[in-house]
Amino acid sequence: MPEIKNIAVIGAGQMGGGIAQIAATAGFTTKLLDPFPGAIDKAKSLHDKLLARAVEKGRMTQPDADAAKSRITYINDQGDAALNNLADADIVIEAIIEDAAIKKDLFAKLAAMLTADQILATNTSSISITEIAAATPCPDRVIGMHFFNPVPVMKLVEVINGLATSPDTTERTIALAEKLSKTPVPANDRAGFVSNRVLMPMINEAFYAWMEGVAEPAHIDEIMKLGCAHPMGPLRLADFIGLDTCVHIMDVLADGLNNERYRACPLLKQLVTANRLGDKTGRGVFDYSK
Ligand code: NAD
């Protein structure tokens, strides 16, 4: 099978922007696509800022930062035809909203325009890889490649095979993760995999503790940091992940594991309704407007 040289990333949010950045820094020709106005501009200015900071801190030379930037093509086209821009990618990594119906629709469209060797990877935090793969005629080439936030910093990639994922797809994905300087670790295709099966109920419980007045948010976080040696409290972490993403993941856990104890806390859902999504909107549990 051909070596991966060209990477396409769909969704230029927190995760997609980070994946595109590390791909370009590792020497891959990279395309980043997002149809929504403003998303690409935001990702591009974040890349400029983070690469400039890496140079300032001596982690990268200016020519290397310039070369990384020049490897990224930003695509802000609307409509299904925009996907044709990705036809030459060896792997497409999807990092759009955590919604099974929207992801399946995208994978069906992607599969229709790709050639025989391309891998379709999803960065989903919780949705079944088998289910996403079933929306395509090529489930052997669909795989979960679950990066962590912030992508340039976090070493882990959870690699999740769907029921039909071929050994060749798995091998090439693991090799790619290593070339991106990440540590791939396998997990099975059950809702939430390992990371979110364990992490997200803890975050949800922190919202219940807040809602029931057990402690105020800053104290809940302080207790978990000092008492459990967590580097970040669960509520601060929820803001960082995105409260909307947390709700989507809890829904997937509740439905996928068929257990109502995984339903999102009403207070978490209320903050999402109020568009308090965390860092990305400037306010979630905590206020970042200043
Ligand atoms: P985000 O909201 O920051 O970004 C999502 C991006 O996808 C946005 O820029 C949006 O414009 C774009 N988008 C939405 N629908 C689209 C479509 N149909 N086609 C193309 N682009 C579309 O979200 P995020 O935090 O980057 O999460 C993206 C994915 O990564 C989700 O599946 C999430 O579960 C997963 N993930 C998130 C984290 C985290 O900590 N935030 C960690 C690991 C995995």
The answer to whether 146 is a known catalytic residue is: yes
| Ligand 1 atom at minimal distance to the Cα of residue 36 | 11
Is residue 147 within 8 Å of 157, Cβ to Cβ? yes
Please state the φ and ψ torsions of residue 185, each to the nearest 5 degrees: -130, 130
* Cis ω before 150 (30° cut-off from 0): yes
Out of 158, 166, 204, 248, which one is annotated catalytic? 158
Structural domains in the chain plus CATH codes: 6-187 (3.40.50.720), 196-281 (1.10.1040.10)
What 3-state DSSP class applies to 30?
A: strand
The answer to whether 230 is a known catalytic residue is: no
Burial profile 280-289: b = 16 or more Cβ within 10 angstroms, e = fewer: bbebbbbeee
Is residue 78 within 8 Å of 37, Cβ to Cβ? no
Give residue 214 CA to ligand 1 midpoint distance, Å. Answer: 32
Q: What pLDDT tens digit does each residue of the chain (290 aa) get?
A: 678 999 999 999 999 999 999 999 999 999 999 999 899 999 999 999 999 999 999 999 999 999 999 999 999 988 888 888 898 999 999 999 989 999 999 999 999 988 878 999 999 988 999 999 999 999 999 999 999 999 999 999 999 999 999 999 999 999 999 999 999 999 999 999 999 999 999 999 999 999 999 999 999 999 999 999 999 999 999 999 999 999 999 999 999 999 999 999 999 999 999 999 999 999 999 999 88
The answer to whether 289 is a known catalytic residue is: no
Residue whose Cα lies nearest atom 25 of ligand 1: it is 14
Residue list, ligand 1 pocket, CB within 6 Å: 10-16, 34-36, 39, 95-98, 102, 106, 123-125, 146-149, 241-242, 245, 280
Is residue 183 within 8 Å of 157, Cβ to Cβ? yes
Is the pTM here over 0.85, yes or no?
yes
The answer to whether 158 is a known catalytic residue is: yes
What 3-state DSSP class applies to 94?
A: strand
| Ligand 1 atom at minimal distance to the Cα of residue 106 | 18
CA 44 and chain centroid, separation: 17
